[in-house]
Chains A and B, each alone.
Chain A
Amino acid sequence: MDLTDADVTDILALLDSLPYDEFDLETSSFRLILRRTPGGWTQSAELRSAPAPLPPASPPAAGSGGAAEAVGAGEAQAGEAEAPPDGVDAASAPSIGADGTSTPTGGTGAGADGASGVGGTSGAGTGIGRGDMGIGRDDTGELVAVRAPLPGTFYRAPRPGAAPFVEVGSRVSAETVIGIVETMKLMNSVPAGAAGTVAEFCVGNAEFAAQGATLLRIRADR
């Protein structure tokens, strides 16, 4: 159960005549704390009862487990969004950091590459090692990661069916938009942040990217 606003108001009416400044009601299914402040009462509620799942309509593959775990596989990765990697500065978009080496932009403090677990390179055939394997530099220039400024869905094109913003091999300037990250129904365009050539994609189109996840890598101009 939970209490309605009318219930809370009734409790407050009782409390107003009593000398107490705090009311803490705790049961197995919920907790309600009411506090008297100089400006009036505050409430913080916590519903503790566990959800009671029914079996899903069409159990997904390998679904002999409990109903609570039997969720659509395609959505499983979304849970990562609840725990953005530490050390990623949410206030600077995009967060650009070198993989293994320092960069001219001075981007430090970014979380370890690959912390997001968002996988899959779509830029196959480039022969470039992943940054998190410690290979951040080769003969032709430094690889710079372009990271998701916010957790969200990565789109490579401005709209379905349109040509991608950039492809592997595209020349980019720092201002070139390389894709869109959709967060909370808002579209955020992501600039390359460095001049160079697109070396590889690390997140596929319409895939989920955690905050700070490497979307693609740019071979920076020297």
Chain B
Amino acid sequence: MILRRVLVANRGEIAVRIVRTCQRLGIETVLAVSAVDADSVPARQADRTIAIGGAGYLDVEAVVGAAVAAGADAVHPGYGFLSENPRLARACEAAALVFIGPGAEVLEAAGDKVAARNHAVAAGLPVLPGGLVQGADAARLAERIGYPVLVKAAGGGGGRGLRVVLEPGELTGAVAVGSAEARAAFSDPRVYLERYVSPARHIEVQLLGDGQNVIHLGDRDCSVQRRYQKLIEEAPAPRLGETLRVGMRAAAVALGLHLKYQGLGTVEFLVDAERSAFWFLEVNARIQVEHPVTEAVTGLDLVAEQIAIAEGRGLRLSQADVQFSGHAIECRINAEDPAAGFRPSPGTVTSAVFPAGPGLRVDTHIQAGSAVPPQYDSLLAKLVASGASRAEALARLRGALARCEIGGVATTVAMHAALAADGEFAAGGVDAGYLGRWLERDSWSVRDKNG
């Protein structure tokens, strides 16, 4: 079925991103808006808007009700909010709406981290020693795994609900608190343990499937993280042996085939590049924040591919059609103050000047006068620099960050500029602990630049 009108059930930069591709494809867009977002940039850009009440972007009934009232024939959930919620996929189906994403069964398999882990094992992927905590066996399980262990929420994901346990004495408390938090955050108290690997890199593979065939669109390195939240991503992963890269891509495709994956998805891996080993982490069954770096090196429009799959047209690309060229780096510019412990900085944007030029892309939903409401996450813009080589992309990134001026709210721009100038980052292949160490070491320079 050809989609004619899509309800975009999201906000911020990803709403702008989705609306832009829909308009290019001649698909009408209706943007669901909460009260604070009624006059946002994506609301101005969409063909129409529709107010959603209830719990807003998190309310399945409100989203489906808005889609029906708007006469939409499909719902694009973006990322976050309800994007991986099987209830929304089912409710769309019941209302004869196309859900632009995988089916409810795949969302359930990916959303339950223990189920996803079992699928990964079944598909032949390496996983870290671990298992579900049942009753009082946590101590024995942890002994078997070997310390340190990571306590993870079965219903979690996206880096939330993680706890490192260094020694047996901390285990019982960590499991209890982790379980209570998991119940509150995900309505699911189950936690599981996995061996904690450090130092390790965080590398993921982009998948695209139509339920029968699955291809990969290359890898991304997302190791620059603070408290499990990604701040810089790049494609391809730098300084990764070819055997490891080929192995990870093949493993991701094997899992996609096993799941009969339909749509766009990502398989995340933990990587020990020194020992040339990788382990499955989780599946993200949606478009991701960092998708532009993949678009930059493949020349593809991933939202357009999502829509093609949702229209039932099947994969338009074979693996051989996907050509990789060059390198791309993305910085997430957040409304946070790195000099004050990354304190959130909601408010009103007074000026928004971004760099422009060859090899630069800025995905944003802010302009002078935009509100940055405290109810939602702090992502303001994604600055993507690409070039024929990593060195060229990095040089462009440095120049671009110096021309980035956002007024009215505190941002992470100065921190990104300092990071882009850091020798260790420039060398490539940093591990997930890098940013924490860098912040400790270099906090003064960031503070100075922020005044």
Q: Show the binding face of A for B, using Cβ within 8 Å.
A: 2, 4-5, 8-9, 12, 34-35, 37, 39-58, 60, 67-68, 70-76, 78-79, 81-84, 90-91, 150-153, 159-160, 183-186, 208
Contact = CB atoms under 8 A, between A and B. Distances in A.
B346 A12 contact: no
Nearest to A83: B348
B52 interface: yes
Nearest to A1: B23
16 contacts: A9-B356, A42-B405, A46-B368, A47-B41, A57-B52, A57-B66, A72-B53, A75-B53, A78-B34, A81-B373, A84-B347, A153-B375, A159-B184, A183-B344, A185-B378, A208-B375
B54 interface: yes
B44 interface: yes
A57 B69 contact: yes
Contacts of B356: 5, 8-9, 12, 34, 40-43
Given A51-B39, A56-B50, A71-B34, 11 more contacts: A39-B403, A40-B357, A42-B353, A51-B33, A52-B47, A55-B50, A60-B53, A72-B51, A73-B53, A159-B180, A185-B376
A9 B49 CA distance: 30
Contact of B69 (A12, A35, A42, A56): A56
Interface string B340-358: 1001111110011111111
Interface of B: 20, 30, 33-36, 38-39, 41, 43-54, 56, 62, 65-66, 68-70, 180-181, 183-184, 335-336, 340, 343-348, 351-358, 360-362, 367-369, 371, 373-378, 399-400, 402-403, 405
Give 7 nearest A-B pairs by CB, closest first.
A72-B53, A159-B184, A57-B65, A57-B69, A184-B344, A75-B35, A43-B356
Given A47-B44, A53-B51, A78-B35, A40 B355 contact: yes
Contacts of B358: 9, 12
A96 B355 CA distance: 41
Contacts of B183: 159
A43 B353 contact: yes
A53 to B, nearest CB: 5
Given A12-B356, A45-B367, A184 B49 contact: no
A39 B374 contact: no
Contacts of A60: 53
B53 A81 contact: no
B355 A42 contact: yes
Nearest to A35: B353
Nearest to A4: B20
Contacts of A12: 356-358
B173 to A, nearest CB: 15
A55 B340 CA distance: 43
Contact of A52 (B34, B49, B181, B368): B49
Given A56-B52, A79-B36, A81-B375, A9 B357 contact: yes
Given A40-B403, A72-B52, A159-B180, A78 B36 contact: yes
Contact of A41 (B347, B348, B357): B357
Given A9-B357, A81-B375, A184-B335, A91 B48 contact: no
B52 A51 contact: no
Nearest to B34: A75
Contacts of A83: 348
